[in-house]
Amino acid sequence: MGIADLLGGVAGAGEFGVWLGRLDGVAVFEHQAERTHYSASTMKLPVAIALMRKVAAGELALDQPVIVRNDFASAADGRFGVNQDEDEAPATWTKLGTPVELGWLATEMITLSSNLATDLVLECVGVDAANAVLTEYGSGRSAIRRGIDDRVAQAAGISNEMSPADLAAVLVAVGNDKTAGGEYVRDLLAGNQWNGEIPAGVPAGTRVEHKNGWDTRIRHDGGIVYPPDAEPFVLTVCTTSELPDAEAQRLIASIATGAWNHRNNLEAIR
């Protein structure tokens, strides 16, 4: 079943966006790719890129200590904390009140998608610096405006948004970044432990540098796939729908399989 057929099969169940292309940044297949969704944890990729820019500039260091705490300034007013019950990365929570290296937090943020680690890294980097990554590579529709679990800001309508096209643009930039910072981010993405979407749709052992995200009605994934017998390709899928979460994951995996099956002639998907 082709990608268009897969999307046709869920028509009316929500909003589904896809961007597929190679590392030259040219799309070979798009479906509602410019429409933004709540970003969920896909925003952690621009945060990681912004971090490495500051490391390269000498403003931050991966080995600098950061005290782990759960208290942050809201983008709206007052302060907020991360909901531990909704954070599926427990290791950061065991470090409360103690110093850890900033690089360790970055690893927790990407490979285990720790929300607490993300807000600690974002506090060091700054929301403006993280958003600047999206502004540089994206269309201007996507944005990082607040930390994870900033409920006060959320209630005030301050949200993080991501489109498949903008997530793809960031991945294309990372995939072509030959600096030490680019390699560092790619290795973090390749170490992602949550692999139920794009990696599940390609053969086991394939290198996939990806960042996914999920929330109520939300399931996204975006990554660079490296077939051993073809050029790398970039795939991003964003879903905001009434599909059961497992079904949304299977949809993304099936789209990845469709892309993989055309890896030697990706343009044929058009």
Half-sphere exposure for 80 (CA within 13 Å, toward CB) = 22
114, 133, 198 from 188: Cα distances, Å: 13, 17, 16
Asked whether residue 1 carries a pLDDT value surpassing 90, the answer given is: no
209 and 153 share one domain? no
Encoded tokens for 121:
């890294």
Classified as helix, coil or strand, 8 is helix
Q: With bands split at pLDDT 50, 70 and 90, how would you rate the model's confidence at 13? A: very high
User: What confidence tier does 110 reach under pLDDT thresholds 50, 70, 90?
Assistant: very high
Looking at the structure, do residues 232 and 177 belong to the same domain, yes or no? yes
Distance from the Cα of residue 184 to its chain's centroid: 15
Token pair of 253 as six digits: 């995996």
Distance CA 132, CA 34 (A): 18
Instruction: Specify whether 156 is located in the same domain as 94.
Output: yes
Q: Are residues 128 and 110 in the same domain?
A: yes
**Where is the domain boundary, 161, 182, 206?**
161
Q: Are residues 142 and 179 in the same domain?
A: no
Residues 121-133 have a mean pLDDT of 98
Q: What is the pLDDT of residues 194-216, one digit of tens each?
A: 999 999 999 999 999 999 999 99
Helix (H) or strand (E) holding 166, with range, is: helix 164-175
For residues 126 and 67, state if they share a domain.
yes
Structure confidence by residue, pLDDT tens digits, 32-55: 999 999 999 999 999 999 999 999
Domain endpoint, select from 161, 182, 205: 161
Per-residue pLDDT at 84:
97
- Domain limit, last residue, from 117, 139, 161: 161
Q: In this structure, are residues 4 and 12 in contact, taking their beta carbons and an 8 Å threshold? A: no
Q: Can you name the residues that pair with 99 across neighbouring β-strands?
A: 67
Q: Report pLDDT for 40.
A: 98
User: Whole-angstrom Cα distance, residue 111 to residue 88?
Assistant: 11
Same domain, 141 and 173: no
pTM: 0.98
Residue 16 pLDDT: 98
Taking alpha carbons only, the member of 118, 109, 189, 180 closest to residue 147 is 118
Can you give the residue range of the structural domain that contains 205?
A: 1-35+163-270
- pLDDT band at 270, cuts 50/70/90? confident
Q: How would you classify residue 67: left for phi > 0, otherwise alpha for psi between -120 and 50, otherwise beta?
A: beta
Cβ neighbours of residue 33 under 8 Å, at least 6 residues apart?
17, 18, 19, 27, 163, 164, 165, 168, 236
* CATH number of the domain where residue 28 is located: 3.40.710.10
Tokens standing for residue 38: 């709540």
Q: Which residues on adjacent β-strands are paired with residue 27?
A: 21
- HSE value, Cβ hemisphere, 13 Å, CA-based, for 158: 16
Percentage above 90 pLDDT, the chain:
98
- Residue 26 pLDDT > 80, yes or no? yes
171 and 152 housed in the same domain: no
pLDDT tens, 138-167?
Answer: 999 999 999 999 999 999 999 999 999 999
Q: 172 versus 267: which is more confidently predicted?
A: 172
Same domain? 52 vs 10: no
Average pLDDT of the chain to the nearest whole number: 97
CA distance 260 to 265: 10
Indicate the pairing of strand 161-162 with strand 37-38. antiparallel
Residues 238 and 198 occupy one common structural domain: yes
Q: Give pLDDT, residue 113.
A: 98
Q: Which residues contact 60 (CB under 8 A, 6 or more apart)?
A: 51, 54, 102, 124, 125
Instruction: Check if the beta carbon of residue 121 is closer than 8 Å to that of residue 52.
Output: no
Number of domains in the chain: 2
Same domain as 143, residue 81: yes
pLDDT at site 95: 98
Indicate if 68 and 143 belong to the same structural domain: yes
Burial grade of 244 (CB within 10 A; 0-12, 13-18, 19 or more): exposed
